[in-house]
Amino acid sequence: MNSTRADDTIVKEITIRAPAERIFEALTDPEQRLKWWGAEGQYRGTQMESDLRPGGKWLTRGIGRGGKAFNVSGEYREIDRPHVLAFTWLPDWEKDAPESLVRFDLKERDGITTVRLTHSGLTSESSRAHHQGWPQVLAWLQAYAEG
Amino acid sequence: MVTERRKQSEAVFRALADPTRRDILAVLRRGRHSVGDIASHFRTSRPAISKHLRLLRSAGLVVSRKQGTARICELNAKPLRAVNDWLADYEAFWNESLRGLKRYVEEEQ
């Protein structure tokens, strides 16, 4: 798996031996999504509601570390089956975190699909204000952590 | 995904969400300053700057001590580590989820 991290964005790519349509289904069908979403032994989804259309809402409930309940919700922003799926991400455990955006890009070739995940806007309000403050803050952090 | 350090990072995020507070940190990055000194960099009123400094102190990003009649402020970047940890948690989450997706879809083929 390739991954990069720039300022407030996480990008990950994984190759899956399956057609894009099959993966798109696993991403969007609530029953299927609960089967792979999360991290074993740490947190898992228990319930998902999904209104799959642009502007439609989604919500996943789950159990986290120590058996604590959590939920993540959002709104679908872009649906281009089976190529693009984008939705906003609002976790209930981060009161002041800004709304971030999760995007899956699927590229199929000979039955093998490259899935690229982009989670952006994670630490910034930049989507609204285009502020340059965050890259600076993270650069400081790096300097201090390494110093 | 709910951990203590998330709570800590929430205070840091709240402190950093404001552009004036980020500018204050930028001033302090260049060295220690008195509250009056810091305020002179801004058009905002001094009470407003003091309020921002209180919030930065409560998030642990600024430490201050009295020197005569002045209050000297200093940057403490350590809590910013919480931001990094927070991102690291998301990295772990997506790593696991994408591996889970691959396993799930490929095993079904």
B22 close contact with A: CB closer than 8 A: yes
Percent of chain A with pLDDT over 90: 39
A42 close contact with B: CB closer than 8 A: yes
Q: What is the ipTM of this complex?
A: 0.73
How far apart are the CA of B9 and the nearest CA of chain A, in angstroms?
A: 9
What's the whole-number mean pLDDT along residues B7-32? 82
Interface test with B, best of A32, A137, A140 (most B CBs within 10 A): A137
Domain ranges of chain A: 2-146
DSSP calls for B11-43: HHHHHHTSHHHHHHHHHHHT--EEHHHHHHT-S
CATH number for B101? 1.10.10.10
The set of residues, in sequence order, having a beta carbon less than 8 Å from that of B47 and lying 6+ positions away, is none
Instruction: Domain of residue B99: give its range.
Output: 4-108
Which residues of chain A does B92 touch, with a Cβ-Cβ cutoff of 8 Å? Answer: 39
pTM of the model: 0.66
B17 close contact with A: CB closer than 8 A: yes
**Tens digit of each residue's pLDDT (9 = 90 or more) over A83-138:** 999 999 888 876 666 678 899 999 999 989 999 988 887 764 333 333 334 444 44
Q: Which CATH architecture has domain A2-146?
A: 2-Layer Sandwich (3.30)
Number of structural domains found in chain B: 1
B25 close contact with A: CB closer than 8 A: yes
pLDDT, averaged across chain A: 78
Which residues of chain A does B3 touch, with a Cβ-Cβ cutoff of 8 Å? Answer: 65
Give the highest mean pLDDT range of A37-46, A70-79, A86-95: A70-79
Instruction: Name the residue in chain B with its Cα closest to that of A15.
Output: B102
Are A6 and A18 within 8 A, CB to CB?
Answer: no
